Amino acid sequence: MKTILKTLVVAVISLSFLSTGFAGDKMKDCVHMKDGKMMMMKDGKEMAMEKEMTMKDGSKIMTDGTMVMKDGKKMSLSDGDMVMMDGTMKKGGMKEGMEDKEG
């Protein structure tokens, strides 16, 4: 009985680590400006952004760092600015002290 209980506890703990690991990777999916270049984070891997991307909220991110909102309003990303896949923009998102960027 104790062996079954130990096995069950280990299984539950293992599954909780796995689920938080996958959620953590999803949280990292974004595009960001780094040293004047647009970069994309996908599944924890950083790569150059090679083409325009449309976010879930309808905003578009261009390879030159321009963000065009669904209503047509334009913003420019600065080094460290980050846009999550849902379209949320964070000022200094890839640096410490992340803040929401209002525009």
Domain boundaries, the chain: 2-100
Place of tokens 């325009």: 52
Q: Look at residue 45 and tell me whether its pLDDT is greater than 80.
A: yes
Does residue 32 contact residue 90 with C-beta atoms inside 8 Å? Answer: no
pLDDT of residue 5: 59
pLDDT of residue 49: 96
Of 56, 70, 71, 60, whose CA–CA distance to 38 is shortest?
Answer: 60
pLDDT tens by residue, 81-95:
999 999 998 887 665
Per-chain mean pLDDT for the chain: 79
